[in-house]
Amino acid sequence: MDTLDLARWQFAITTVYHFFFVPVTISLVAITAGLQTAWYRTGKEKYLRLTKFYGKLFLINIAMGVVTGLVQEFQFGMNWSDYSRFVGDVFGAPLALEGLLAFFLESTFIGLWIFGWERLPRLVHLGCIWMVVLGTQLSAYFILAANSWMQNPVGFRYNADRGRAELTDLWAVLTNKVVLVTFPHTIFAAFMVGGAFVAGVALWHLVRRPTVDKDVFRSALKIGASVVLVASVGVAISGDLQGKVMTEVQPMKMAAAEALYETEKPASFSVFTVGTLDGSKEIFSIKLPYLLSFLATGHFDGEVKGINSLQDAYEQLYGPGSYKPNIPLTYWTFRLMIGVGMASAAIALWLLWTTRRGRAPTRWLVWLAAPLPLLPLAANTFGWIFTETGRQPWLVFGLLPTASGVSPSTTSGEVITSLVGFTALYGVLAVVETKLLLRTIRGGLAGTDAPPDTAPDQPDKPLSFAY
Amino acid sequence: MELTTVWFVAIATLWTGYFVLEGFDFGVGMLYRVLGRNEPERRAAISTIGPVWDGNEVWLIMAGAATFAAFPEWYATLFSGFYLPLFAILVGLILRGVALEYRGKRDEPVWRARMDAMIVIGSVLPALLWGVAFGNIVRGVPLDADHEYVGSFGTLLNPFALLGGLTFVAVFVTHGAIFLALRTTDDLRVRANRLATRTGVVAAVLTIAFLAWAQALRGDTVSVVVTIAAVVAFAGGLVANLLRREGWAFVGTTLAIGLAVVSLFVALFPDVMPSTLDPGSTLSAVEAASSAYTLKAMTIITAIFFPLVLVYQGWTYWVFRKRVTVEPVAVS
């Protein structure tokens, strides 16, 4: 493998791994803030206990999100220095905004929230976790604006002298039509993970320890499953809008999502296909007529451009070369994203139905406790693999091929070192984090029942430690 | 002031803030295991940075992102050229961040010992390597006409840069010890105070040697004056520490680190990455900068929001201003 392939593998591994923690962080902090608000408003102890319990799980998760995020910022420069030179003038601004407006907010107020239980008035302490929520939302928006610019570059001009893209309209970058649909899609998808996590943990407790804190976990199960259902509707609607924008700005990605080689009008959507290995010949397929036309254009008889005609058009526009992404990869990740996402929503619906009006979940349901959050998490991963590999061979669509972005002087030995190093380190940390998470989940609500002493310390009383 | 200069100052400010703030985090991380003689003392020591270390580290993220946005060429040359040191810094920061958050989550000696090892490695390694990196930035590295780094990992391990690494470690240990003396009570406080005096002497010698060498390489009148001010501040901090004036001692090391970092940036200006091969290959701030529109937009946004960041970060330090006491409390 050459430096380019190694750098791509490192980016894929570290980014997919980072994004295991991101959706959980975004949603779990908001759910925790909601629980704490419920406690503040109603004074019911169960909400306080759930706040502390899920808050602890959130903290275990976000620690991993924070440290793996550092790698993301550094590796643009380390492995993709020519990309950084080309896009820095445009892409750097939302990244800097993310740091200035989001990361400072998140990190500072999370410290205040962890250590502030006994030091801050209740309302101020509650405000702290809402500031963290705000920080995660802003962070998501700015980084998605940066990514959306790579999918659909706007608000810039190409400076031929400097050989780089230069920002001409920051507002256009921040209101790129791709980010406007990608942001809700990503946030709703994140809430499917967090809701499913809350429900899955509660389900495990209800089945395995049916007599311990039953009422509290019943509330958690219902809250979590409801969040999954509402979010799944949001994911579907925003995903549908996103499909239409994608057809407009990146038609090749839409064609690749269906492995549609020839232009069709109307176009059908295949649920499942057995084909040749490169995906160009179909052997067996289950098809839903008209559906792809509707997903791509909003009309049941709309025309969807095929890969071959787009390839011809791009050769005219950009010169000779292949403009096709890896078709089997885009085809299957697109289907798996939708399929496993829908499966988790179905499980959530089933859980709400089977526990209606005080019914206890049956024992075998415990087998759904782990798949419930893992399915939407996998859907998030598939979605990102689809959207990033579907942009290939471009790094910035229409402007910069991926092969032109890699660091010219970085050696393959260096990239192998960091690729192996990060993969090994991430592997070990995954084991440590999962074990700690499961241990904390099994520990249940023990130690969460003492209401905090909200009286601010006396002036001469020293601070007791909280770690 | 011209916008390129404004952003050079902004980047220098962010690195200065990072080293002042994370400097004592690193110091505490290197020291708590030896200064704390039992678990309650160690937990008290580590709790002094508990609420703030994550926010302090954002100064680094901000410095990186601001360099990316304002000086893309600088970001590209620096991060790809210093590949292996930055990889090692990342590994260190990952180990440390995870361990700081996970250490108190399990009440077992083996678990804590592992987390302690991660925190110590994750504090020493980045401190050392940031010193090496900054030594190399000031000294200059082999860059070709495209501003691409053409040296090897060994090129970065020159005597001047290694002295920079050792200086950073020694200064951060002292800064951390003085911070611990300021923020703890009883025996721990006394021990931290005594240790600061001993490491302070070593740090002072290293600092004078490193900064003088830096000025000899690339100094002008202003940077020499700032360097002298940094050394005086450090000496003042050590005297205050001897007199058990912990607040003043901390002001002294804070000013010393701040002025020392400023002196390096003043010496560097108007270049950002000097080349040791051909003066024509040196990357200057103007050559590395983003377009006027980008710099202007970011200047406006930063002018509005950065003061706000300073206010709430300052508020955190105010909320947690009281000393941390050593108490045998159960693990949460």
Residue-wise pLDDT for A155-173, tens only, equals 999 999 989 999 999 999 9
For residues B72 and B216, the answer to whether their CB atoms sit within 8 Å is: no
**What is the CB-side half-sphere exposure of residue A425 using CA atoms within 13 A?**
24
For residues B68 and A95, the answer to whether their CB atoms sit within 8 Å is: yes
Could you tell me which residues are beta bridge partners of residue A285?
A273
Closest CA to A147 of A390, A382, A348: A390
Tokens of A329: 């990869």
Under an 8 A CB cutoff, do A92 and B76 touch?
Answer: no
* Chain A residues lying within 8 Å of B94, measured CB to CB: 67-68, 70-71, 425, 429
CA-CA-CA-CA torsion for A123, B307, B71, B137, nearest 10 degrees?
Answer: -100
Burial (0-12, 13-18, 19+ Cβ within 10 Å), B277: middle
Q: Which of A73, A109, A168 is facing B64, going by the closest CB pair?
A: A73
* Chain A residues lying within 8 Å of B43, measured CB to CB: 465, 467
Longest dimension (CA), chain B: 63
For residues A433 and A23, the answer to whether their CB atoms sit within 8 Å is: no
Residue A222 DSSP SS3: helix
**ipTM higher than 0.85?**
yes
Q: Has residue B241 got a pLDDT over 60?
A: yes
Helix runs in A43-121, H state only: 45-79, 81-97, 104-115
Q: What letter would DSSP give residue B252?
A: H
Burial annotation A99-134 (CB, 10 A radius, 16+ → b, else e): bbbbbbbbbbbbbbbbbbbebbeeeebbebbbbbbb
Mutation site, A138, A409, A415, A438, interface B, largest B CB count within 10 A:
A409
What pLDDT score was predicted for residue A279?
62
Do the domain assignments include residue A167? no
- How many structural domains does chain A have? 1
What pLDDT score was predicted for residue B156?
94
Range of the domain at B79: 3-190+269-319
d(CA B270, CA B82): 21
The backbone torsions φ and ψ at residue A157, rounded to the nearest 5 degrees and listed phi first, read -135, 155
% of chain B with per-residue pLDDT over 70: 98
Under an 8 A CB cutoff, do A77 and B103 touch?
Answer: no
- The pLDDT-based confidence of A450 (bands split at 50, 70, 90) is low
- Torsion sign, CA atoms A36, A37, A38, A44: positive
DSSP states along A124-186: HHHHHHHHHHHHHHHHHHHHHHHHHHHHS--SEEEETTTTEEEES-HHHHHT-HHHHHHHHHH
Do the domain assignments include residue B213? no
What pLDDT score was predicted for residue A359?
83
How many Cβ atoms from other residues are within 10 Å of residue B279's Cβ? 10
Q: Which of A73, A407, A417 is facing B87, going by the closest CB pair?
A: A417
- How many structural domains does chain B have? 1
Do the domain assignments include residue B207? no
Q: Which of residues 55-84 of A touch B (CB under 8 A)?
A: 59-60, 63-64, 66-71, 73-74, 76-79, 81-82, 84
What pLDDT score was predicted for residue A144?
97
Q: Does A103 touch chain B (CB under 8 A)?
A: yes
Tokens 């039992």 found at: B38
Q: Has residue A129 got a pLDDT over 90?
A: yes
Range of the domain at A429: 1-158+414-441
How does pLDDT run across B69-89, given as a tens digit for each residue? 999 999 999 999 999 999 999
Do the domain assignments include residue B176? yes
Element housing B272 (H / E): strand B271-273
* Chain A residues lying within 8 Å of B302, measured CB to CB: 100
> Which among A181-190, A252-261, B210-219 has the top mean pLDDT?
A181-190
* Chain A residues lying within 8 Å of B323, measured CB to CB: 462-463
How does pLDDT run across A322-354, given as a tens digit for each residue? 999 999 999 999 999 999 999 999 999 999 998
B130 CA: distance to closest CA in chain A (Å): 14
Q: Has residue B332 got a pLDDT over 70?
A: no
A107 CA: distance to closest CA in chain B (Å): 5
What average pLDDT does range A203-219 have in this prediction?
90
Under an 8 A CB cutoff, do B309 and A91 touch?
Answer: no
Do the domain assignments include residue A96? yes
Under an 8 A CB cutoff, do B322 and A457 touch?
Answer: yes
How does pLDDT run across B155-166, given as a tens digit for each residue? 999 999 999 999
Q: Has residue A459 got a pLDDT over 50?
A: no
What pLDDT score was predicted for residue B328?
62
Do the domain assignments include residue B103? yes
d(CA A396, CA A87): 9
d(CA B90, CA B86): 6
* Chain B residues lying within 8 Å of A139, measured CB to CB: none
- The pLDDT-based confidence of A277 (bands split at 50, 70, 90) is low
Do the domain assignments include residue A306? no
Q: Which of B50, B70, B301 is facing A466, going by the closest CB pair?
A: B50
Helix runs in B243-291, H state only: 246-268, 285-288
Q: Does A416 touch chain B (CB under 8 A)?
A: no
What pLDDT score was predicted for residue A304?
87
Residue A137 to residues A70, B9, B37, B125, B226: CA-CA distances in angstroms? 18, 30, 43, 33, 42
